[in-house]
Amino acid sequence: MELNENARVDTSQVDDRRGSGGGGGMGIPIPIGGGRGGIVGIIIAVLVALVGGGFGLNAATNGGGDEQGDNTSLEQKCSAQDALKQLDCRNALYVNSIQAYWRTAMPEAFGEQYRPSKTVFFSQNVSTACGAADSGVGPFYCPADDLVYIDLSFYKLLADQLGAEGEFAQPYVLAHEYGHHVQDLLGTEAQMRRQQQRDPQNANALSVKLELQADCYAGAWAKNATGTADDRGQKIFTSITEQDISQAIDTAEKIGDDAIQQRSGRPVNPDEFTHGSSEQRKQWFTKGFTTGDPKSCDTFGSGA
């Protein structure tokens, strides 16, 4: 994967809240070399949420997501030469690419306008319209304030603890979360919640369909990512290789429900799946990538 060094990072698509809050030691500390059980427990919490789009959070009735970050230093950093050597600037650029894709793809595929959503960079903990969250929950999308949330230190955990290495795991994670935003805009998410209420026995199976669709949307973006450009029309990616795609698939596999259950030493139980098995996640990401068409991501339809 290669980024175009001349691409301009549009930091207005992120909200940098790393400087505010979070200092009070309220986050779940990640033990350094502590008991194995503790580490595994935290990893599971992280993964469940990454893949679950943060739906484990309680929806707060009166927001709390009114915090505002300060982008001043990020803006400076990301307009400098060598900006793309910085993890946060690269991630802002990934967000730019994903949203540039949906601006065209959503009207094309679904006949609806795309509405941009910011990604909040936070550190340790953050308050959202879906409730308070800490890094332990991993990256997530909050439908109540239409924002994607990520503590960028998550990628280190992904690489160190899961062996999901490679830069392309990062845009994959973001593209998955933006897939939830698209589902929110299209009403898919709300529809699924209503179905879950009518049919609680199938709540997990329905959640799996939502998650697999977000993976498939991520695949559709990946296929079209080299066609995305910054606000001056400069290409964002100069190349995405097969190796990048296998990294994304590899990540999708590593965070499958069965893989997580196995890692935690629990027996694999498909009834408890909320995000899909490794095989399913790989399958749907690949489907989106192969077709490059979000319409093919019909996980709720008969072809699923």
Q: Helix/strand/coil (H, E, C) string of 14-80?
A: EEECCCCCCCCCCCCCCCCCCCHHHHHHHHHHHHHHHHHCCCCCCCCCCCCCCCCCCCHHHHHHHHC
Chain centroid to CA 95: how far?
A: 10
Phi, psi of 221 (to 5 degrees): -60, -45
Smaller CB distance to Zn ion: residue 121 or 178?
Answer: 178
Q: Which residues contact 193 (CB under 8 A, 6 or more apart)?
A: none
* Closest residue to Zn ion, based on beta-carbon distance: 53
Minimum CB–partner distance for residue 58 and Zn ion (Å): 17
Q: What is the DSSP code (8-state) at residue 235? A: B
Q: Does 276 bind Zn ion (CB under 5 A)?
A: no
**Residue pair 104/32 in contact by the 8 Å Cβ criterion:** no
Smaller CB distance to Zn ion: residue 18 or 281?
Answer: 281
Minimum CB–partner distance for residue 20 and Zn ion (Å): 26
Q: Which stretch binds Zn ion (CB under 5 A): 39-47, 53-61, 228-236, 279-287?
A: 53-61
Minimum CB–partner distance for residue 264 and Zn ion (Å): 19
| Single residue of 14, 16, 27, 53 touching Zn ion by CB under 5 A | 53
- How far is it, in rounded angstroms, from Cα 15 to Cα 117? 10
Q: One symbol per residue from 16 to 35: x for binding Zn ion (CB under 5 A), - otherwise; what is it? A: --------------------
Q: One symbol per residue from 169 to 208: x for binding Zn ion (CB under 5 A), - otherwise; what is it? A: ----------------------------------------
Residues that bind Zn ion (CB under 5 A): 53, 211, 214
